[in-house]
């Protein structure tokens, strides 16, 4: 129960006494001496009750005394709850306090009270309580209802006085009731405020206790601990009973601060309202992070009354963040810095070199034939090899160098502090790369039972040489690496300015290639294939690009770029469509085959076989006229898949020829695995006929093995009669080359004269 302050009571008493005195003076003379003395007594008791009690006792006193004073059967003080219900605060009925007070007010009474503030039956309203069965059942014949309103005229509840007889209220009952109602309103407000405070306190306490991860402690202004939640017990290792009443500096070790620092912090909190800091500790070898906040507690009057300390163990969150940052900066497979990190370090190295006037070098390294290892032994072995190579590269580099993985089988090494003289710096870079190259080529990597060795091609770009950016340096090193690849494998190449020009040309070509089909800049030439008698039996379709500024381009100028960018797939489809749509024209002169070159990436398109099938069916051409020329590059992929695709088309009647045979890595015996019809002996072998005896032996072997395997043989690049005679004499039956005809347009095909 909330007791009003003494001051308040005295004040209220004074007001009441004054009001009672006024009313007493106005009282009408009593008609009956007994009822008068009873009434008077009841009235005085009522006034005393109002002045002397608070809280529930006040309400209980009031209902009893009002009942007495009015000579009623029952009085009830009802309160409107937040939920819009009515709750009986106190009720007396037939001389007894009612525990479970009624919780409703009859509709007609309610309406009257709301409208008039005060209601009295039967004097004012003549209807009985037909809409209230409970009142009717009680046989209520007299009733007074009055609204309890606060200072803001908000309805808090009602006082209801009921009687089984018509009520004859005492003189000035209305004025007296108004005083009672005012006092009751004040009491109800006080109760309500008290309840709200208790509810809030309970809620806050619940929140603080239920927080299992945030440790919360509160102190007074002298840092004496006044509150300590269960999470704080867990985090700081002290029980609440041990610390309540102690000062925070006494626990300073656990809150991560020494006492002098803590006092400094307190001054900051006083000035700024809050302070945040982190504590890093090692627990069982693991780093633990606690995030702490100290706040100033200010009361409603703006007075500082204490501090709260909130601490949270953020180790998990920090570790997750660190992992995310790590993943964004490092390669998951090799744990080496990734491209992004390497670029950041390159930017730093570049500006350091510019500031201190020395040189650096960026080394781009691409593994040789990594793809074949991946394809033939599987990705798990490929991954293992990359990890082993990453370690190898780190072993071969100096501590100050950055070794990073920037792509599938591509690594970049940054040499950041070389000489300030170009020659000496390039010498240092070369020595560094040579030692890496040696270690790499001599290391045997043992991966899942496979003993693997590998080499790499290296491109080196020195910097700074002008106002280049980090991106320029990376591109230069990449360009030099491509050049090294082109020089054979296990090579090293420095970036030179003319490479830059070549790289730019290539980039331009790449852009132009994207428009080549819309702009209809491609066309096909056909090179005849003849038999021993010089009769044209077939043709090979060969691509040409009429470039708007660079003139006529041959395939080797643009096919590799088209393959790199993937645009070869669309170009290849165009070639096939064009050939198929011209077949009728081509077969006029008893030509039995049209050879079309197919790039590996075109062949490996999922819908390649379907596309070809669709084309020949649509154009209604004999599929056996089509000879698809594939290269040995196709064999590094999954052989079963290759064979399946070839067989699918072969069932249609399409035939297959192995182009440029002898330039790749497959031997003739490998060819047995493929359902081929023919082999084309590469023109480099044909070219050396009559030049090198060993080459001639090789050509003879190829011819006899092809015959042995039941494959047809075409010799390409035949330029001389000598070459033709040699090949024809060894059993070769088909020939292609400038000796018979250069590639020509369809309408200029003429039978060569042998
Ligand atoms: P390839 O399939 O080996 O084609 C033969 C190449 O040898 C053609 O070069 C042809 O012009 C050239 N040639 C023919 N006879 C002689 C000769 O007596 N002496 C010399 N030195 N060369 C001769 P071209 O047209 O430059 O084609 C080069 C390569 O480009 C082709 O080699 C082929 O691999 C590729 N290619 C051509 N057209 C296409 C195509 O439509 N798609 C694809 N994917 N590749 C194509
Ligand atoms: Mg070809
Ligand atoms: Mg060829």
The helix-helix angle for 173-210 and 55-70 (nearest 10°) equals 160
Closest ligand, as measured to the CA of 717? 1
Q: Is the pLDDT of residue 35 over 60?
A: no
Locus of tokens 């033939």: 376
Tell me the average pLDDT of the chain.
84
On whether residue 324 sits in a domain, the answer given is no
Residues 342 and 491 in one domain: yes
Average pLDDT over residues 100-122: 69
Residue 18 pLDDT level (bands cut at 50, 70, 90): low
CATH number of the domain to which 604 belongs? 3.20.20.450
User: What pLDDT score does 57 carry?
Assistant: 86
* Pairwise CA distance, residues 343 & 359, whole Å: 17
Residues 57 and 84 in one domain: yes
Q: Which domain holds residue 169?
A: 6-196
Under 8 Å between Cβ of 504 and 479: no
User: What pLDDT score does 30 carry?
Assistant: 44
* Domain stop point among 196, 222, 240: 196
Please write the tens of the pLDDT for every residue from 396-426. Answer: 888 889 999 999 999 999 998 899 988 888 8
> Of the given ranges (18-27, 125-134, 285-294), which has the lowest mean pLDDT?
18-27
**Does the beta carbon of 108 sit less than 6 angstroms from any atom of ligand 1?**
no
- Beta strand 86-93 with 74-80 is antiparallel
**Does the beta carbon of 741 sit less than 6 angstroms from any atom of ligand 1?**
no
* Helix (H) or strand (E) run with residue 120 in it: strand 118-121
Give the end-to-end CA distance of the chain in Å, rounded to a whole number: 127
Nearest atom within ligand 1 for CA of residue 555: 30
Nearest atom within ligand 1 for CA of residue 563: 44
- Beta strand 274-283 with 155-163 is unpaired
Label residue 67 left, alpha or beta by phi (over 0 means left) and psi (-120 to 50 means alpha).
alpha
**Does the beta carbon of 660 sit less than 6 angstroms from any atom of ligand 1?**
yes
* Domain stop point among 495, 526, 554: 495
**Does the beta carbon of 738 sit less than 6 angstroms from any atom of ligand 1?**
yes
Q: How far does the centroid of ligand 1 lie from the alpha carbon of residue 559, in Å?
A: 11
Query: Could you write out the DSSP letters of every residue in 329-347?
Result: HB-TTT-SB-HHHHHHHHH
Nearest atom within ligand 1 for CA of residue 598: 44
Q: How far does the centroid of ligand 3 lie from the alpha carbon of residue 719, in Å?
A: 14
Nearest atom within ligand 1 for CA of residue 599: 44
* Pairwise CA distance, residues 660 & 629, whole Å: 9
Q: How far does the centroid of ligand 2 lie from the alpha carbon of residue 540, in Å?
A: 7
Average pLDDT over residues 4-9: 46
**Does the beta carbon of 556 sit less than 6 angstroms from any atom of ligand 1?**
yes
User: What pLDDT score does 724 carry?
Assistant: 97
Q: Which of 111, 189, 172, 187 is nearest to 147 (CA)?
A: 111
Nearest atom within ligand 1 for CA of residue 524: 41
**Does the beta carbon of 682 sit less than 6 angstroms from any atom of ligand 1?**
no
Q: How far does the centroid of ligand 3 lie from the alpha carbon of residue 673, in Å?
A: 21
**Does the beta carbon of 576 sit less than 6 angstroms from any atom of ligand 1?**
no
Closest ligand, as measured to the CA of 601? 1
Q: How far does the centroid of ligand 3 lie from the alpha carbon of residue 618, in Å?
A: 29
CATH number of the domain to which 275 belongs? 3.30.450.20
Q: Which of 593, 362, 571, 597 is nearest to 480 (CA)?
A: 362
In the beta sheet, which residues pair with residue 345? none
The CA radius of gyration of the chain, in Å to the nearest whole number, is 51
Q: How far does the centroid of ligand 2 lie from the alpha carbon of residue 569, in Å?
A: 16
Closest ligand, as measured to the CA of 629? 2
Residue 593 pLDDT level (bands cut at 50, 70, 90): very high
Residue 499 pLDDT level (bands cut at 50, 70, 90): low
Q: How far does the centroid of ligand 1 lie from the alpha carbon of residue 743, in Å?
A: 9
**Does the beta carbon of 633 sit less than 6 angstroms from any atom of ligand 1?**
no
On whether residue 503 sits in a domain, the answer given is no
Q: Is the pLDDT of residue 106 over 70?
A: no
User: What pLDDT score does 10 carry?
Assistant: 45
Q: How far does the centroid of ligand 2 lie from the alpha carbon of residue 597, in Å?
A: 5
Residues 315 and 349 in one domain: no
Which of 34-48, 200-214, 602-616 shows the highest mean pLDDT?
602-616
**Does the beta carbon of 219 sit less than 6 angstroms from any atom of ligand 1?**
no
CATH number of the domain to which 399 belongs? 3.30.70.270
Domain count along the chain = 4
Tell me which residues have their CB within 5 A of the ion that is ligand 3. 659-660, 716
Please write the tens of the pLDDT for every residue from 516-528. Answer: 999 999 999 999 9
Residue 6 pLDDT level (bands cut at 50, 70, 90): very low
Q: How far does the centroid of ligand 3 lie from the alpha carbon of residue 550, in Å?
A: 25
Residues 527 and 429 in one domain: no
Please write the tens of the pLDDT for every residue from 345-368. Answer: 999 999 999 999 999 999 999 999
Nearest atom within ligand 1 for CA of residue 629: 2
> Considering only CA atoms, which residue is closest to atom 43 of ligand 1?
597
Under 8 Å between Cβ of 544 and 525: yes
> Considering only CA atoms, which residue is closest to atom 37 of ligand 1?
542
Closest ligand, as measured to the CA of 563? 1
Please write the tens of the pLDDT for every residue from 130-145. Answer: 566 666 666 777 888 8
Query: Could you write out the DSSP letters of every residue in 605-666?
Result: STTHHHHHHHHHHHHT--GGGEEEEE-GGGGGS-HHHHHHHHHHHHHHT-EEEEEEETSSS-
Residue 3 pLDDT level (bands cut at 50, 70, 90): very low
Residue 714 pLDDT level (bands cut at 50, 70, 90): very high
Under 8 Å between Cβ of 97 and 90: yes
User: What pLDDT score does 28 carry?
Assistant: 45
> Considering only CA atoms, which residue is closest to atom 41 of ligand 1?
543
Residues 273 and 380 in one domain: no
On whether residue 554 sits in a domain, the answer given is yes
Which of 555-569, 636-650, 724-738 shows the highest mean pLDDT?
724-738
Q: How far does the centroid of ligand 1 lie from the alpha carbon of residue 542, in Å?
A: 6
On whether residue 754 sits in a domain, the answer given is no
Ligand 1 probe mutation, 525, 542, 560, 602, most atoms within 8 A of CB = 542
Nearest atom within ligand 1 for CA of residue 718: 18
On whether residue 491 sits in a domain, the answer given is yes
The share of the chain scoring above pLDDT 70, in percent, equals 86
Under 8 Å between Cβ of 363 and 412: yes
**Does the beta carbon of 555 sit less than 6 angstroms from any atom of ligand 1?**
yes
pTM: 0.48
* Pairwise CA distance, residues 635 & 600, whole Å: 9
Residues 567 and 704 in one domain: yes
Closest ligand, as measured to the CA of 538? 2
Residues 488 and 530 in one domain: no
Closest ligand, as measured to the CA of 527? 1
**Does the beta carbon of 683 sit less than 6 angstroms from any atom of ligand 1?**
yes
* Pairwise CA distance, residues 459 & 480, whole Å: 4
Closest ligand, as measured to the CA of 660? 3
Residues 178 and 229 in one domain: no
> Considering only CA atoms, which residue is closest to atom 25 of ligand 1?
542
Residues 525 and 667 in one domain: yes
* Pairwise CA distance, residues 456 & 437, whole Å: 7
In the beta sheet, which residues pair with residue 278? 291
> Of the given ranges (55-64, 170-179, 347-356, 425-434), which has the lowest mean pLDDT?
170-179
Residues 244 and 298 in one domain: yes
* Pairwise CA distance, residues 28 & 445, whole Å: 120
On whether residue 658 sits in a domain, the answer given is yes
The runs of H, that is alpha helices, within 357-378 are 370-377
Closest ligand, as measured to the CA of 579? 1
> Considering only CA atoms, which residue is closest to atom 34 of ligand 1?
597
> Of the given ranges (142-151, 166-175, 496-505, 605-614), which has the lowest mean pLDDT?
496-505
Q: Is the pLDDT of residue 478 over 90?
A: yes
**Does the beta carbon of 529 sit less than 6 angstroms from any atom of ligand 1?**
no
Q: How far does the centroid of ligand 3 lie from the alpha carbon of residue 509, in Å?
A: 24
> Considering only CA atoms, which residue is closest to atom 16 of ligand 1?
717
Which of 126-140, 179-193, 259-273, 387-401 shows the highest mean pLDDT?
387-401
User: What pLDDT score does 2 carry?
Assistant: 40
Please write the tens of the pLDDT for every residue from 643-694. Answer: 999 999 999 999 999 998 877 656 666 778 899 999 999 999 999 999 989 8
On whether residue 502 sits in a domain, the answer given is no
User: What pLDDT score does 732 carry?
Assistant: 94
> Of the given ranges (25-29, 89-93, 499-503), which has the lowest mean pLDDT?
25-29
> Considering only CA atoms, which residue is closest to atom 21 of ligand 1?
717
Ligand 1 probe mutation, 525, 526, 555, most atoms within 8 A of CB = 555
The runs of H, that is alpha helices, within 27-162 are 33-52, 55-70, 107-116, 133-138
Cα three-residue angle 158-159-163, rounded to 5 degrees: 135
CATH number of the domain to which 77 belongs? 3.30.450.40
Residues 306 and 414 in one domain: no
Q: How far does the centroid of ligand 2 lie from the alpha carbon of residue 660, in Å?
A: 7
* Domain stop point among 139, 166, 196: 196
Decide: residue 557, CB within 10 A, 0-12 exposed, 13-18 middle, 19+ buried. Answer: middle
Residue 312 pLDDT level (bands cut at 50, 70, 90): confident
Ligand 1 probe mutation, 523, 576, 597, 744, most atoms within 8 A of CB = 597
Residue 33 pLDDT level (bands cut at 50, 70, 90): very low
Residues 10 and 135 in one domain: yes
On whether residue 611 sits in a domain, the answer given is yes
The share of the chain scoring above pLDDT 90, in percent, equals 37
Q: Which two tokens stand for residue 335?
A: 């744990």
**Does the beta carbon of 597 sit less than 6 angstroms from any atom of ligand 1?**
yes
């Amino acid at each position: 129960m909330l007791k009003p302050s003494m001051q308040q009571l005295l004040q209220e008493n004074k007001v009441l006494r004054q009001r009672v005195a006024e009313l007493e003076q106005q009282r009408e003379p009593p008609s009956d001496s007994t009822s008068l003395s009873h009434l008077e007594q009841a009235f005085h008791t009522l006034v005393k009750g109002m002045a002397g009690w608070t809280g529930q006792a006040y309400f209980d006193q009031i209902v009893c005394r009002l009942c007495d004073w009015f000579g009623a059967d029952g009085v009830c003080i009802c309160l409107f709850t937040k939920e819009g219900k009515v709750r009986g605060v106190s009720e007396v009925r037939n001389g007894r306090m009612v525990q479970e007070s009624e919780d409703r007010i009859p509709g007609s009474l309610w309406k009257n009270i709301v409208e008039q503030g005060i209601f009295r039956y039967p004097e004012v309203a003549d209807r009985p309580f037909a809409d209230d069965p409970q009142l009717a059942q009680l046989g209520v014949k007299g009733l007074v209802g009055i609204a309890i309103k606060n200072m803001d005229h908000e309805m808090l509840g009602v006082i209801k006085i009921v009687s089984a007889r018509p009520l004859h209220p005492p003189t000035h009952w209305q004025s007296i009731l108004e005083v009672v109602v005012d006092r009751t309103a004040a009491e109800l407000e006080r109760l309500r405020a008290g309840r709200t405070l208790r509810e809030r306190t309970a809620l806050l306490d619940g929140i603080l206790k239920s927080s299992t991860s945030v440790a919360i402690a509160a102190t007074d202004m002298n840092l004496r601990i006044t509150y300590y939640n269960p999470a704080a017990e867990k985090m700081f290792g002290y029980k609440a009973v041990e610390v309540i009443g102690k000062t925070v500096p006494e626990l300073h070790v656990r809150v991560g601060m020494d006492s002098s620092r803590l006092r400094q912090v307190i001054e900051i909190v006083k000035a700024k309202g809050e302070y945040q800091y982190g504590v890093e500790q090692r627990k069982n070898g693991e780093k633990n992070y606690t995030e702490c906040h100290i706040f100033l507690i200010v009361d409603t009057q703006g007075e500082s009354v204490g501090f709260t300390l909130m601490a949270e163990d953020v180790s998990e969150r920090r570790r997750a963040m660190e992992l995310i940052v790590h993943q964004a900066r490092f390669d998951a497979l090799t744990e080496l810095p990734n491209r992004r990190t390497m670029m950041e370090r390159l930017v730093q190295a570049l500006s350091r070199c510019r500031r201190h006037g020395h040189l650096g070098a960026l080394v781009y390294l691409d593994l040789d034939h990594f793809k074949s290892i991946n394809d033939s032994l599987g990705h798990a072995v490929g991954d293992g090899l990359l990890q082993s190579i990453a370690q190898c590269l780190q072993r071969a580099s100096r501590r100050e160098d950055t070794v990073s993985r920037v792509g599938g089988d591509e690594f970049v090494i940054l040499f950041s502090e070389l000489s300030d003289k170009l020659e000496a710096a390039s010498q240092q870079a070369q020595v560094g790369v040579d030692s890496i190259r040696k270690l790499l080529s001599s290391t045997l990597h043992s991966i899942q039972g496979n003993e693997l060795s590998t080499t790499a091609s290296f491109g080196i770009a020195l910097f700074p040489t002008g106002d280049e950016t980090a991106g320029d340096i990376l591109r230069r090193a990449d360009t030099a690496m491509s050049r090294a690849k082109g020089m054979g494998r296990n090579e090293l190449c420095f970036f030179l300015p003319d490479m830059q020009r070549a790289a730019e040309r290539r980039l331009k070509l790449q852009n132009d290639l994207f428009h080549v089909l819309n702009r209809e800049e491609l066309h096909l030439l056909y090179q005849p294939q003849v038999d021993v008698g010089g009769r044209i039996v077939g043709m090979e379709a060969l691509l040409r690009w009429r470039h708007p500024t660079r003139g006529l381009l041959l395939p080797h100028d643009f096919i590799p770029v088209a393959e790199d960018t993937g645009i070869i797939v669309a170009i290849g489809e165009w070639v096939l469509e064009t050939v198929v749509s011209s077949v009728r024209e081509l077969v006029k002169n008893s030509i039995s085959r049209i050879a079309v070159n197919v790039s590996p990436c075109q062949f490996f398109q999922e819908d390649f076989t379907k596309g070809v099938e669709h084309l020949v069916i649509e154009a209604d051409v004999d599929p056996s006229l089509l000879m698809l020329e594939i290269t040995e590059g196709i064999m590094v992929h999954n052989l079963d898949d290759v064979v399946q695709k070839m067989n699918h088309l072969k069932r249609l009647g399409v035939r297959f020829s192995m182009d440029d045979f002898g330039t790749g890595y497959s031997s003739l015996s490998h060819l047995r695995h493929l359902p081929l019809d023919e082999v084309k002996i590469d023109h480099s072998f044909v070219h050396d006929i009559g030049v090198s005896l060993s080459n001639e032996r090789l050509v003879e072997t190829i011819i006899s093995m092809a015959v042995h395997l039941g494959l047809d043989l075409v010799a390409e690049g035949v330029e001389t009669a000598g070459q033709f005679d040699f090949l024809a004499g060894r059993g070769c039956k088909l020939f292609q080359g400038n000796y018979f005809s250069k590639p020509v347009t369809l309408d200029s095909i003429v039978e060569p004269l042998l």
